[in-house]
């Protein structure tokens, strides 16, 4: 099997068992990403931060994107970031399942985007279950919010600070709480 095959399988939503022969490649890729993260999290120049983030994500990060480090990503190459995105301090992106952040998104401090999880069954718990996260245009994710695997945040929607979002959020909604529930519609 091709070394990158496990990453393609993750990108296709395949559950990766704990006995998968390529499982160690996940850790090795994370260690490679960590080397670039250490560099990125220790520079202050916005251009250099974007250049290092471009290397981490293997995409071009637009000059309109602002990232206040530190930012923590476990893989990076399954993260796509649009234009005019702001990512504040101390965010965590677990992106093996895929993370898409569309244009004009605001991400407050200490936000966690967790696109991967594990089965409930103790016998299978060390398997990895990837499901993509999508944050649509003009969304605002409040401080210390957690977006769980498989969730889409709708266009123009707001996630209140401290919320845990486990279900899709429709366009033009404000959600909050644990678990997050619709609070009101944005007119």
Q: Which residues constitute the domain of residue 114?
A: 5-118+127-185
pLDDT reported for residue 166: 98
Question: Sign of torsion, CA 49 42 135 7?
Answer: positive
The answer to whether residue 118 is catalytic is yes
Percent residues over pLDDT 70 in the chain:
98
In angstroms, the CA 176 to CA 81 distance is 24
pLDDT above 90: residue 99: yes
> How far apart are the C-alpha atoms of 110 and 89, rounded to whole Å?
7
Of 128, 124, 82, nearest to 105 (Cα)? Answer: 82
Let me know: does 159 contact 140? Beta carbons within 8 Å.
yes
| Count: domains in the chain | 1
Residue with token string 């899709």: 168
Q: What is the pTM of this model?
A: 0.95
Which pair of structure tokens corresponds to residue 80? 């796509």
Nearest to 100 by CA among 133, 67, 57: 133
CATH number assigned to the domain comprising residue 60? 2.160.10.10
Confidence band, pLDDT 50/70/90 cuts, at residue 5 = confident
- Cα Rg of the chain, angstroms: 16
> In the predicted model, is pLDDT for residue 3 greater than 50?
no
For the chain, how many residues are written? 187
Whole-number Å distance between alpha carbons of 11 and 64: 27
9, 118, 131, 137: the catalytic one is 118
Res 4: pLDDT: 53
Residue pLDDT, tens place only, 8-61: 899 889 999 989 999 899 999 999 999 999 999 999 999 999 999 999 999 999
pLDDT recorded at residue 1 = 44
Interhelix angle 46-57/23-40, rounded to 10 degrees, is 170
């Amino acid at each position: 099997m091709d070394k990158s095959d496990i990453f393609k399988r993750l990108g296709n939503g395949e559950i990766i068992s704990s006995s998968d022969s390529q499982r160690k490649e996940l850790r090795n890729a994370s260690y490679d990403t960590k080397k670039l993260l250490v560099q990125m999290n220790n520079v202050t120049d916005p251009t250099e931060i974007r250049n290092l983030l471009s290397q981490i994500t293997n995409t071009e990060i637009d000059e309109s994107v602002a990232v206040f480090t530190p930012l923590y990503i476990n893989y990076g190459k399954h993260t796509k970031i649009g234009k005019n995105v702001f990512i504040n301090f101390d965010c965590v992106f677990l992106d093996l399942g895929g993370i898409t952040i569309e244009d004009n998104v605001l991400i407050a401090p200490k936000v966690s985007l967790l696109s991967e999880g594990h089965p409930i069954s103790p016998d299978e718990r060390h398997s990895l279950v990837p499901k993509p996260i999508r944050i649509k245009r003009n969304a605002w994710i409040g401080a210390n919010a957690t977006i769980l695997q498989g969730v889409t945040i709708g266009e123009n929607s707001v996630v209140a600070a401290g919320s845990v979002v486990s279900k899709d959020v429709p366009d033009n909604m404000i959600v909050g709480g644990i678990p997050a529930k619709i609070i009101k519609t944005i007119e």
